[in-house]
Every structure is written in C-alpha cells, then in structure tokens.
Amino acid sequence: MNENNKPVKHGGLWTVLFTVISLFWIFPIVLVVINSFKQKAYISRNAFSIPMGKAFVGFENYTRGIETTQFFASFGWTLLITVGSVVLILLCTSMCAWWIVRVNNWAAKLLYTLFLFNMIVPFQMVMFTLSKIADMLKLNTPWGLTIVYLGFGAGLAVFIFTGVIKGIPAELEESAMIDGASVPRIFFQIVVPIMKPSIVSVAILEAMWIWNDYLLPYLTLDLGKYKTISVAVQYLKGGYGSVDMGAMMACLVLAIIPIIIFYLVCQKYIVSGVMAGAVKG
C-alpha cells in the first residue's frame, strides 16, 4: 500500500516474470520444431543449434516420417478416438453428475464415491486386466476404445460437473417443469448452457490426454489394423536401438499442431464463460 492507501500495481513485473516462465515451457516445443529440419547426425551432435548449411534438410524428415508411419491413417484413427471419446465422456458424465446432485440419495452418493475412487486407483494396477477384458469383449477397435476412455475419464469429469451443478439453482428447473418442459429439454436447454464453461474446460483436458495417450491404445487396440499417432511414432525405432530422430521430430510436430490449435480456439470460450459466470454470480 502507498501513502494514499491505494494498492501498488506490479503489472509490469508480473508480466516479465510470467513471460520468462512461459519461455521455459515453450522451449522444448521450439527445440522439437528446430530438430525436425535437421539431418539425423546433426541432431545427435548438437540438438540446440539452428539448422543451417548441410544440417538443413527442409521437409525431407516430414516426408520420410509420413511415409514410414503411415501418418495420415494414424491421424484419422487418433482423431476418431479422441472426438468419439470426448463426446461420449461429456454426454454421459454431465447427465450422470446432474442425476447425482438432484437425486442426492444413498445410491447417488455411493456412485459419486466410486467416481472419486476411479481418480485414485493407479492405471498400472488395472492395465493387464483391462487388456485381457478388452480382448474378451471385442473392445480392441477404435470404437471400443472410446468406451474404455469413458471409464477412465469419467472420474474427473463427474467431479468437475458435480461441483458446477451444485451452484445451479434448482428453482430454474422446477419452473421449467411447471411450464411443461420434459426432463431432456430441461437438461439440454437449461442446465447445459449454464455448464458451457466447465464443459469446454473438461473437453480440453480430456482431448489433450486422449490425443497424447500411448499406453491405452498400445494395450487395447489391434495394432495390426489400427495405430494412433503416439503408437505409430514408435515404429521409427530401428534395430539395435537406432532411432530416426529427424523423422520422429517431424511426426511429433505434426502431432502437436492439431491439439494446440484446438486449445487456442477453445481458450476464448473458457475466458468468456468464466467472466459471464462471474457477472451473473
């Protein structure tokens, strides 16, 4: 506080501080992009140098990586799994959370506890059993994998949605019910619009996790028919531990771009939704 009892503004200092921190976060991504234009030998020799002269190979790494990994097929399966899983998670968990909050009996509380337990159990404890059951139930396809992701992603989504729905006045729904609105109409036309900021937030979290996930697709999918990007990139490893680092870096760049675009597009909806919620509150 200064002499006039006004708070001292440190906006410039905080801007500099967070700019420096953001550079540390961005640096690994920049390093991957730089090395995606280098020859393999120069990546091993000096990973931090700018690709110039003989080290620069243009888009050769991208071409080789796309051909070796069948990147576009893997991209399609990854997109299908990610979109399908996120839609399924958002639809099922939002309705489930609404039921848990509005019913609020012993069964709802027990179900909510099980969802919280889902967040606690380490994946390593269930991965071998999961792989076996997925094969038995024929879930080793991209469509079956969306159901598996629903099981693993439901805990966090229900936890977030439950907290949001508790803040929605039940009187809004009761008024709509008195006016003759059906239960699905109340949920999709009253509850869902209010939940929009949290829905977008959960969508981003789940999409980033599913898009970048390696273990679940590797353990569950029939890799002879389906490969996600994270699994396909591993096939750039050769014999005796050799790795085509140039092609791998190029594929990683191609894999990063879509999820970054998705985050940047959805970010403005999160900010505007939070601000709207603050004004309404």
- Span of 13-27, 101-115, 155-169 with lowest mean pLDDT: 13-27
Which pLDDT belongs to residue 273?
Answer: 47
Total domains present in the chain: 2
* Residues forming beta bridges with residue 56, ordered by sequence position: 38
> Of 57, 73, 95, which residue is a domain's last?
57
Q: Write out the chain in H/E/C secondary structure.
A: CCCCCCCCCCHHHHHHHHHHHHHHHHHHHHHHHHHCCECHHHHHHCCCCCCCHHHECCCHHHHHHHHHHCHHHHHHHHHHHHHHHHHHHHHHHHHHHHHHHHHCCHHHHHHHHHHHHHHHCCHHHCHHHHHHHHHHCCCCCHHHHHHHHHHHHHHHHHHHHHHHHHCCCHHHHHHHHHCCCCHHHHHHHHHHHHHHHHHHHHHHHHHHHHHHCCHHHHHHCCCCCCCCHHHHHHHHECHHHCECHHHHHHHHHHHHHHHHHHHHHHHHHHHHHHHHHHHHC
Q: Is residue 1 part of a domain?
A: no
Q: Is residue 235 part of a domain?
A: yes
Q: Return the higher-pLDDT residue of 1 and 61.
A: 61
pTM: 0.84
Q: Are residues 242 and 123 in the same domain?
A: yes
Q: Are residues 36 and 158 in the same domain?
A: no
In single-letter form, the type of residue at position 127 comes to M
Confidence of residue 281 (pLDDT cuts 50, 70, 90): very low
Q: Are residues 29 and 115 in the same domain?
A: no
Which pLDDT belongs to residue 279?
Answer: 41
Tokens of 280: 């309404």
Q: Are residues 197 and 135 in the same domain?
A: yes
Domain with 52, as residue range(s), is 11-57
- Span of 102-106, 189-193, 239-243 with lowest mean pLDDT: 239-243
Q: Are residues 220 and 258 in the same domain?
A: yes
Q: Is residue 261 part of a domain?
A: yes
Is the pLDDT score of 202 beyond 70? yes
Q: Is residue 98 part of a domain?
A: yes
Which pLDDT belongs to residue 241?
Answer: 62
Q: Are residues 30 and 141 in the same domain?
A: no
Q: Are residues 190 and 249 in the same domain?
A: yes
**Which domain CATH number covers 119?**
1.10.3720.10
Q: Are residues 34 and 70 in the same domain?
A: no
Could you give the CA distance from residue 12 to residue 47 in angstroms, rounded to a whole number?
Answer: 34
Which percentage of the chain shows pLDDT scores above 70? Answer: 90
Confidence of residue 238 (pLDDT cuts 50, 70, 90): low
Sequence-distant (6+) residues with CB within 8 A of 255 are 211, 212, 229, 230, 233
Could you give the CA distance from residue 49 to residue 125 in angstroms, rounded to a whole number?
Answer: 42
Q: Is residue 5 part of a domain?
A: no
Q: Are residues 45 and 154 in the same domain?
A: no
Q: Are residues 188 and 148 in the same domain?
A: yes
Q: Is residue 24 part of a domain?
A: yes
Q: Is residue 2 part of a domain?
A: no
108-154 per-position pLDDT tens digit:
999 999 998 888 888 888 888 888 888 888 888 999 999 999 989 99
35-73 per-position pLDDT tens digit:
889 888 888 777 788 888 888 888 888 998 898 888 999
Could you give the CA distance from residue 43 to residue 243 in angstroms, rounded to a whole number?
Answer: 11
Best CA proximity match to 167, nearest among 191, 146, 143: 191
Mean pLDDT in residue range 200-208: 89
Q: Are residues 145 and 233 in the same domain?
A: yes
